[in-house]
Structure 1
């Protein structure tokens, strides 16, 4: 007996994520299409894939106890079959016999008959107790509260600590568990209707903060995106607000020149292009990766504005054009810790050692952008990460470098001007103007947004 198609699709995607460093959000739609899954089966495959990857840390702890061995000693194909089976047993309503039997078949196909017997024994052991029983066991084995939270909410301990510090910077450390839980919830599909080019469809729910955002009903939004020539597109509300923070920081003057310095994959570029078209501004875009530069060109294809997309190192692209731009978006490469609910495998791929190199790159990009500003020009420094080394730390270093030549604007006030008073953005304890969005508080990715003006 072969495992049912949705489980096989989920298993193959999970294997590719672990074996080839594939990205689930890119691979899964293609796998679903190749398998010809129905809408219902596609939904099941999606839940199984993302749910298993999100909760991998918790499931590995359960598997380790049930198998009485370190999961690193388990053959990877068998381990992924176990993870998929444990997700069904502990976090879904799938019948236990189906979860066990089909996971065993996946293990047999992926790792052989002996592995299938091992998977069968471990999953049957797990199925005999409740999810609460298993959580109690892994909590009892934790050596610290941070480790306990990491095991229960399936986050590496270093990420738990980084989130704790970032929330404490707002006096909100008590929200840590709510944030970790939000990272494990499936986000709703959020869309943007590019201003002046598309209207929000009738009978959909508007997002609370972006004037151009709405929630997509159930199903695949690709047909809607295609039918609109990309003028309606998938975009998190936090990303919309990040772009609008730059365009609404002050009124746009006809003839302004803007730059999206790290533009790939192009969602923010498209929104900037629509805003530039409406305000009479010129927009340039830059993306060092040729593949991602191609995505930028595709993203802006539906906007009737001539946008030059260059493929250079952003640090050179900006610093070689001093005093050129009125507004620059630096959506810097980062750890991506703010988007773990959308890219669940990212939490297992990053490490604390990645942060210093990234923060150095972020600092260099922001410094180059400041040099490229005209006097009075504004740069929006954005990361999809709340890690303080990537946010407040980078901005603090750049402000020290430029001294009185830089003025920080109140990004929170700008965003509340866009969204209205319902957007709660507490002032950081350092007194800065930085705005920090959160999944648990705003139902967005954890975007950090800073606005700096060159005097």
Structure 2
């Protein structure tokens, strides 16, 4: 006879609720399977009651966000390196940390449910180890563990531990912020607050009142945005492609880029278009034809899907922006929203801060320079290039633009004068938005006129 499934062959006394078991499976899919927290949780919570789905999302996303600090606490409390722990056991301990330190779960429930989860999802053999470590974790709160582990740390190292950011990211943000530790702490804290979904109407297809259901509010600066809690797909305009989901920071850089274009006629180019949010906004504003280029076919399909509600006036091209499929000097406006580390969007991508490595910055910067060079070459004299990143890192922003040839740098913040403190502190000709100031992703934008 075939052996019974491990989870159904446990002792009858072991029972674990479905949300915690789903959270365990989700964390395994993210950390061992390379999944993305938002996609994994969306798939695994489909059909769950609202309360249970919310519990899973908070537990998984919060654990991913705080994971590096939780790992240091687990290592310290257990007295053994993480490599000595089975990967699945480590996931149970991480989930226990978040319940103990960040959720309103009673200590006895966090301990008991972690032991039961280990017995049901892994093996009865590991329950003793999990019980011992979780009980030790529960003896101190998060700040007390940080006090003990961080004794003797410098200020930035201590902030990295307490706010769960890799040290190299803290250093990069401190450099871009050019401020004191209090403001840096406010930024790191804002990175740990999940944002409310931000919606955008497609110009010419929808108007904001369609999205203004109960609990919604207009964005403070973007003329197209609505902040609305809940599931965006509940709205007909979203399902029909007449509106989309897009952070206000992304809307504002498009607003800045299109503020000076009417002086030239010609097609517009979205050089790195996937997944298509900016392309859809540009298409609604473009007086000519929009070319949306994306090198990966599956992402090009996402771009086409984002543009589907428009009757025409656009072309989606599967092409690498470094090797263009269009004539040089043919675009009136080129938007280069280049691949980057994503340090500006850490609040909406909870797992990403632990997947990036400082060595990737130099590799990405080289790609960014190549894409900017081609964006300039694709733009007609007198045309505009908007260089955009979702990262405030110096090496991905002002250092890349500093190497641009044949352009005049424009005063980008003046294109969105209603937005306070929008100028980069590294160079006030550029836009730099911030989560703790603007409630947006930390978007960077440079506007360059080809000479």
- TM-score after normalising by structure 1: 0.91
Residue 120 of structure 1 deviates from its aligned partner by: 1.4
Matches within 5 A, 1:161-176: 161-168=171-178, 171=179, 174-176=182-184
Residue 79 of structure 1 deviates from its aligned partner by: 0.5
Whether 2:415 is the aligned partner of 1:438: answer no
Distance change >3 Å, CA 387–CA 287, structure 1 → 2: same
Matches within 5 A, 1:73-222: 73-140=84-151, 143-168=153-178, 171=179, 174-200=182-208, 201-203=211-213, 204-217=216-229, 219-222=230-233
Distance 2:154 2:83 in 1: 22
Map Cα deviations across residues 189-233 of structure 1 (whole Å, 9 max, x no partner): 11111222112133521111111111113x211221666512121
Q: Which moved more, 1:260-269 or 1:120-129?
A: 120-129
Instruction: Specify the SS of the correspondent of 1:317.
Output: coil
Residue 292 of structure 1 deviates from its aligned partner by: 0.6
Pairwise CA RMSD of aligned residues?
1.8
Q: Which moved more, 1:81-90 or 1:171-180?
A: 171-180
Distance change >3 Å, CA 225–CA 25, structure 1 → 2: farther
Alignment correspondent of 2:376: 370
Alignment correspondent of 1:304: 311
Distance change >3 Å, CA 377–CA 25, structure 1 → 2: same
Whether 2:41 is the aligned partner of 1:28: answer yes
Distance 1:97 1:300 in 2: 51
Residue 391 of structure 1 deviates from its aligned partner by: 0.3
Unaligned runs of 5+ in 1: none
- TM-score after normalising by structure 2: 0.92
Alignment correspondent of 2:273: 263
Alignment correspondent of 1:52: 63
Distance change >3 Å, CA 6–CA 442, structure 1 → 2: same
Alignment correspondent of 2:10: none
Distance 1:143 1:166 in 2: 22
Instruction: Specify the SS of the correspondent of 1:389.
Output: helix
Q: Is the CA contact (8 Å cut-off) linking 1:224 and 1:232 kept in structure 2?
A: no
Q: Which moved more, 1:281-290 or 1:143-152?
A: 143-152
Q: Is the CA contact (8 Å cut-off) linking 2:398 and 2:426 kept in structure 1?
A: no
Distance change >3 Å, CA 172–CA 262, structure 1 → 2: farther
Instruction: Specify the SS of the correspondent of 2:244.
Output: strand
Distance change >3 Å, CA 427–CA 144, structure 1 → 2: closer
Q: Count matched residues.
A: 434
Q: Give the structure with the larger helix fraction.
A: 1
Distance 1:252 1:45 in 2: 51
Instruction: Specify the SS of the correspondent of 2:262.
Output: coil
Distance 1:13 1:135 in 2: 27
Q: Is the CA contact (8 Å cut-off) linking 1:167 and 1:173 kept in structure 2?
A: no
Q: Is the CA contact (8 Å cut-off) linking 2:266 and 2:330 kept in structure 1?
A: no
Distance 1:324 1:311 in 2: 18
Distance 2:32 2:107 in 1: 27
Q: Which of the numbers 316, 325, 333 marks the counterpart of 1:327?
A: 333
Q: Is the CA contact (8 Å cut-off) linking 2:232 and 2:238 kept in structure 1?
A: no
Residue 331 of structure 1 deviates from its aligned partner by: 0.5
Distance 1:427 1:383 in 2: 13
Matches within 5 A, 1:215-234: 215-217=227-229, 219-224=230-235, 228-234=239-245
Residue 66 of structure 1 deviates from its aligned partner by: 1.5
Map Cα deviations across residues 372-403 of structure 1 (whole Å, 9 max, x no partner): 111111011001111100000100012xxx2x
Map Cα deviations across residues 281-339 of structure 1 (whole Å, 9 max, x no partner): 21000101111111111111112233211111111117x52110000110100011111
